[in-house]
Chain A
Amino acid sequence: MTEILGYRRPGGQLGIRNHVAIIYSTNCSLWVARVLYDRYPVGTQLFGYPQGCRFREAPVQKLAAMAANPSFAGALVIGLGCEGTNARELALRLGESGKPCEAVVIQEEGGDLKTLEKASRILLRLLQHAARTPRDVLAERDLVVGGICGGSDATSGLISNPLVGRVADRLVARGGTYMHAEPHELMGCADVLAARAVSQDVAQDVRAAIEQAERESFESGSFHIGFGNIEGGLTTIEEKSYGCLAKSGSQPLRGVLRDYGRPPTGGYYLQIPVPGSETFYGDSENVSQFAACGAHLVLFTTGCGATTGGILPVVKIMANPHRPDLIADNVDYDATDGTRGQRSLDEMVDGLYTEMLAVAAGKPTKSEVLRHCEA
């Protein structure tokens, strides 16, 4: 196995990337944040809180947890000045991780362009600081990996998700941590997951999580199955759910994560976002949620061809053989041989596992190269 050198943070955790986070505290300050992100692409990541005009505890807590992810070396918060989510207070909160976190406020500096100048100098300093981060060996048991399925079609449940499940099983067997989320796409799966729970408490917790999601779907009148899924051949939310469940692998369910920070021990977990914590939407929001739980990278399956990445390295896996151009542009692991019957899932596990470790060791995924991230 290629030796993986991680980045050692003040609290002792190991990250696999070394980014300075550029964070916008409200949609008005996104402009400056985006210019900085585009102008200084080496070693920066962008995310924030479009609705930060009003302050809410849950999203801010999640943003702090995202910045605390060990793949971040520090943070620069860009604020407007009149929003409820105070940029300086946010920077102070992020700084509790021991990393350098600063803020620049547009209404104090005197406008977008003045802010850009000051922020650029701070960013330069933060990036130079990041460059001095000590490196240390990262083992498989140190890895925290998230699993997502987005833009699912029939190949997701048949090929890609079972493949990810096997990779997850191997990682967990070697002491690593794996999590997935989306209880709204686990309809009818409560019994199966409860049976895998390591304790009665966990079994009850997972049942409660799925029942809550089912109640929300029922009350809102719509289940999490949409046009692309249906056109792709998925008929019911149950069919989609059993397909989604396949990415959970077969290891025991160690717990339901309802708060942020890295899970205390290795193993397989179900992650539930803290209610109201969403700062964005869609699959890239799921990536952010995993980042807040200490994940290093994400295995992301798609069938129709979801192009989004996230603030973590996203390894995109696709087994739909009818869209080779999309695979060429946006997919990291081509699993179409599984659909063609040319290779079995067992034959493909080594390839995907190796790719995952290569990404952990520094290989950029396509979404990283393209900087395709909505967050």
Chain B
Amino acid sequence: MSDLPAPRPSQKPESPDNAGKPLRHKAIALHDDDNVVTLLSDGHSGEEVTASQGSSEIRILLLEDVPFGHKAALIDIPAGHAILKYGLPIGQASHAISKGRWVHVHNCSTHRLGRFQKEHGIRA
């Protein structure tokens, strides 16, 4: 399994977007079952972010910087639990993740390798 490169902090300027137009919500969760939101603009430690989830609005306090396009936990997620986005499991928590924390390659791992091995009886 190839090593995934470590994420690096976003170098984009701090603004809703470079065209200067405001965002209605700073983050979004498409599905009611999702336990993460996706940031639509760079989020900062200590910032309370307004997110849309379906037709409702929620607020979440970021415990660390979360770059544009990246995810933040909506609830505390125990280690081994599924990370849900689009209402589907996109991976599992490799460590316990607190609400408001950045969720990415450092704490969310793919299912594919383990599941494919198991379903096809392959041993590493």
Contact = CB atoms under 8 A, between A and B. Distances in A.
A36 to B, nearest CB: 40
Contacts of A157: 86
Nearest to B19: A324
A255 B19 CA distance: 42
A218 B4 CA distance: 15
Contact of A238 (B69, B70, B110): B110
A233 B110 CA distance: 14
Contacts of A237: 110, 112
A67 interface: no
Interface string B1-28: 1101101100010001111011111001
Contact of A322 (B68, B70, B117): B68
A321 B21 contact: yes
B109 interface: yes
Interface residues of A, number: 40
Interface string A179-196: 000000001100000000
B99 to A, nearest CB: 18
A230 B38 contact: no
Contacts of B122: 218
Contacts of B96: none
Interface string A123-157: 00000000000000000000000000000011101
B111 A188 contact: yes
B5 A236 contact: no
A242 B109 contact: no
A342 interface: yes
A341 B60 CA distance: 18
Interface string A151-184: 0011101100000000000000000000000000
Nearest to A340: B23
Interface in B74-97: 83, 85-86, 88-91
Contacts of A223: 110, 112
A242 B12 CA distance: 26
B114 to A, nearest CB: 11
A370 B7 CA distance: 33
Interface in A239-277: 239, 242-243
Nearest to A325: B18
Given A157-B86, A230-B7, A235-B104, A322 B17 contact: yes
A50 interface: no
25 contacts: A153-B69, A154-B38, A157-B86, A158-B30, A214-B112, A218-B117, A230-B4, A230-B5, A230-B7, A232-B69, A233-B39, A233-B68, A233-B69, A235-B103, A236-B90, A238-B112, A239-B90, A239-B91, A242-B90, A322-B12, A324-B19, A341-B23, A341-B24, A341-B40, A342-B24
Chain A to chain B: the 9 pairs with minimum beta-carbon distance, closest first: A341-B24, A233-B69, A321-B17, A154-B69, A239-B90, A236-B91, A233-B70, A236-B110, A222-B2
Given A218-B113, A236-B112, A321-B19, 9 more contacts: A214-B112, A218-B112, A236-B111, A238-B88, A239-B90, A322-B12, A324-B17, A341-B23, A341-B40
